[in-house]
Structures are given as structure tokens and as C-alpha cells.
A and B are shown apart, each in its own frame.
Chain A
Amino acid sequence: MPFSAEEVNAILLSVRVAACSVIVGLLPALFFAYILARFEFKGKSLLDSLIHLPLVIPPVVTGYLLIIFLGRHSLIGGFFEKIGIKFAFNWKGAVAAALVMSFPLLVRPIRLSIEAIDRGLEDAARTLGAGRARVFMTVTLPLSLPGIISGSVLALARSLGEFGATMTFVSNIPGETQTLPLALYSYTQTPGGEIMAGRLCAVSIVIAAAALAASNILAERAKKRIQK
């Protein structure tokens, strides 16, 4: 039996939402990982906790907070609506939910890999006449690539599996916000939906395993480039 349009929609939507959340989240994650790894400042532990918060609070709470802060009548949601980005009951809202939920998993490996870079290398680059931006682009960023890769994969996997916050924030609308986990949940609640649920379950595992394999290959390549 071929996949139904609803199933295909859910799979494609999930991949799109997860990919977008990683792509949108990567730059801010790099920024926060870098300042957390390299600078001491007031409120550093507060910022650190704030980033990690979605890991520990119930996803439903995160979803509810997203309604409050990104809803149409909120300050931030209103601003985004003005520049043409609507979150409520929209797949972009699902991206926002996935982004917030996966952000700590994106930041952490990047931060660890930046912390593992010998500061002496950055010092050496500066003595050779490089300003901070050039040091970052030529030394820090390439050397933190393994962390960027593993962070991206973790975040991608987390986004693919995002359920609670998405359901709470943008609801479960087929074709718009019904991602793979939401569709799977719906099938488990529908009489006779077991086959579809099973298939989506398998697809979900395949996508996650493929992402993991891809990241291993990429990380291996990044490592080889340094050890050649």
C-alpha cells in the first residue's frame, strides 16, 4: 500500500521544519557558544541556564510560553507579523517550537568544541596580524567544525521528534503543522491506523539513522582534514 498524501505531507513537513530550525538556529548558536566559551561576563550563568531551560521544563510549558511570547498579540509575535512571518497555526510556528526545543543541543557541542581549541592558536594568529574576526573565521570556526556537525545532527534529530511544544503552540493541522510525530500520534488515536502508525515509525527511525550516519561521515572527514 503506497503512502497516503497525508503521510507524505507529514514526512516532508517534518524534514522541512527540522532542517529550517537547524539552519535558522546555527548562527545564533555559534554566537552564544562562542561568547559562553570565550568570555567572562555578568549574567553568564543566567544566559547559560536560559538556553538550557527547554531541556528541563515540560515541552507543553515551552509551547504555552511560545503562545504568550510569539502569539499574534504579543510584542515579539506582532513584530514578526509585521515583517511577514506568521507563527500561529502555521508551519513557521512549528519551526519556532523545534528551534527553541533543540537550541540547547545545538549550542552545547559547539561550545565544548570551542572550549577545546587551544587558545594559544588564537593568540598565535593574532600575533601574526589577524584581527578578531579573521582569527574566528580562519582558526576558531574551522577547528570547531566537529562540534558544529554533531550539534546540528543532535538538533536535527530533536527537531524531527518535536511533539509537545509544537502541538501546544501551533496545534495539529494536517498539511500545515502536522509533522511526522503529530501524524503518528493521530494514527494511534484512530481505529485502523496501526499500519500507518507503524510505517511512520519506521520512516522516523530511517531518517534519524541516516542523519546520524551522515554526521559520522562528515565528522570523520573533518578530522581527516586535520590529520592528513
Chain B
Amino acid sequence: MNTTRSLQDLIKPFRDWYKNRHSYAETWKENHSQQVIGMMCTYVPEEILYAAGMLPVRILGGHEPQDVTEAHIFGMFCPFSRDALAQGLKGKYSYVDSIVLSHSCLHFRQTFTSWKMHLPLKWSYYLPMPNQVQSPYAKQEFQSEVKKFKEFIEKEIGKTITAEALKQGTSLMDKNRSLLRKIYELRKKENPPITGADAVYMAVTSQFISKEDHNTALEALLEKANEFTPSRETGVRLMTIGSENDDVQFFEMVESLPATIVCDEQCAGSRYFWNPTIDAGDPIQTIANRYVDRPPCPTKDYPERKRFPHILNLAKEYGVQGVILMQEKFCDPHEADNPALKRFLEENGIPTLTLEFDSTNPLGPLKIRVEAFLETLSAEELFS
């Protein structure tokens, strides 16, 4: 039996969703007659939205040239924030009824504010997610914010969100998280059956496809997981670290060299789903705690650096030989971490390559640099 082919069949839904995300959401809306909520940043407590029967979809960029945002967001801000706004202004997200931003960085806050100023919406909501998640008061504060958000949604839908519904929303989210963790487990294998590009398709689609559908597709794949033996060469085991960078073409290019991206620490990837909720009694507190405890966006990682040891653990667990630091151009949170992170990784024996990403990227120059990086890694092996 050609297992690789059947694996491709099982990955296909994710690829299709990635490409046809808007028609998926439009169809969902027709079938469910419920609001589709544009979610900005990965700190939005989606549990509340699922409990309310809504579909949260993460607002992402389109990775295509655009000329509609210069009047709204100054060019010193990250291309992602501009690309995502462009998608809105160009009407790609016309099915989105309302938007919610849970605070992480200032750049993307502008996508939210310009969106609410210039696009028709039922409502918009700003959730002040604490910056200082290490503060002993962050959980208490975020609990209060999540509670207010829940009450706001209740007013919107005109009914109470019961504790039972919250628990269902939470377990749906947790199930997705645990399934994605299992997918990532497969990548620890000596010859990972799942490529980094496959993982991007799966992790990113989980941010805008209904978790029910997404879980079903993940389960179908995992059921056959042990049968997979990859027909491709694994090559050098790499990890990507960055933000939203879901540049699948870049991942595919890297993995053709040959190399395999076996793990990531990105908000388009593992940062989004890594930790499940831990029951804290009160269902709102349970949800709030999960976001405070998750692997942080670099902008929230202070006074201590908790991100770095987490990254090092991942690198060790996944047998990573080299790290690609995907620096989104002008992204202050990552720029303020990367030089220190680079030093930290290299002190721990993990070579790094820093590449800068715009919303669209010429693959040629990137390929030359990745090839050179892979060569140095192989050379190190030769001499070690």
C-alpha cells in the first residue's frame, strides 16, 4: 500500500482549507446562521465564542502585494498588520460580522482599530489581555476581563452562556489542542511523516476552521499515523521561531533542500495550541489561566525570560540541529528578543539563521541563505 499517498489524502483537507478559508467560513455561516467573529491575535479566549455558538476565525494576511493600507498604517509597522488589514479592505473577510482583539502587540492593534473605523461590523471588542503574564495578579485581572467579555457576548446573543456551554467550548478547544500536540509528536520521529509545511497547514487552519471539523480531520489522520513511512529524505532537522509567519512556500522550499522542519515556536504554530486548560473550578478562571500560562508572545515575556528555556526544551525534544529565526520585518516584540535568543541558542550549541520576512518574499535570495546554513550544519557534522 502506498502510505505516503494516503497521508497526502489525509492532509489534503487542511491544504484545501488553507486555500479556501473564506468560502469555508461563508458556507459555515449559511449553514449555522450564527456570527463569524474575526479574531485578532491568538490571545482571544475562543472558548467563549464557541460556547456562544459562534465561529472565531483568525484574521491573517494574504501574502500578496497590496496598495490599500498606506493611508491607514504607517510603513514602519509590521507587514503582517498591514497585509491583514488589506485583506479586510479588499473585502476578503466580508462575512466577518464582528471583531475582537485580545491585546498582545501594538502593531496589530492598528489592524483592529483601522478595521473598526473603515469596515462594517456588528460590534468590535478590545480585550486588555495583561502584558505582564508573570505578575501574580495577571490571572485575576484576566479572569475579570474574560468575564466582562462573556457578559458582552451574552448581551449580543440575548441569552446566558451557561457554565455547561463554557465547559463544552473549553473541552472542544482542549481536544483540538491535544490532537495538534499528537500531530507534533509524530515529528519527533527519526523520519517524521509530517513535514513542517504540513504542520503549518494543520496548525494555521485550526485558527479559522471550526474546531469540530478540524478535530474530525485531525482524528482521521492520527488514526493512520502509525502506518506512515515517509518516502522523502529527512535531511537536517530544523526548527522555526517567529510570529505569524505562515509562509508555506518558504517551508516547502526549505524542505526540498533536503531538510525537515520538525518543530516551531510561532504564534502561527505551537504557541497557539501548546497548553491545555487546567481546571481551576470556576470555568472563566479556568479559561483565563490557560492564556496567562501559555507560551508567551515575546512582548509578554518579562521580567524573566521564560520563553527561552521553553524553546530550548522543544529543540532538545525534537532533536533540532539548527534554528531559523523568522524575523517579521519591523516586528518589535521579536526584534527585542532575537539577538538575546540567538546568543542563548548558540551558547546551548544550537546554530541559528536569521531571515527577515515581508508579507511577500522572493524565495531565490532566501534559498541561497538557507542552503549556505544547511552546508555549515553538515560541515559541523563532518568535523564533530
Bound pair (A, B): no
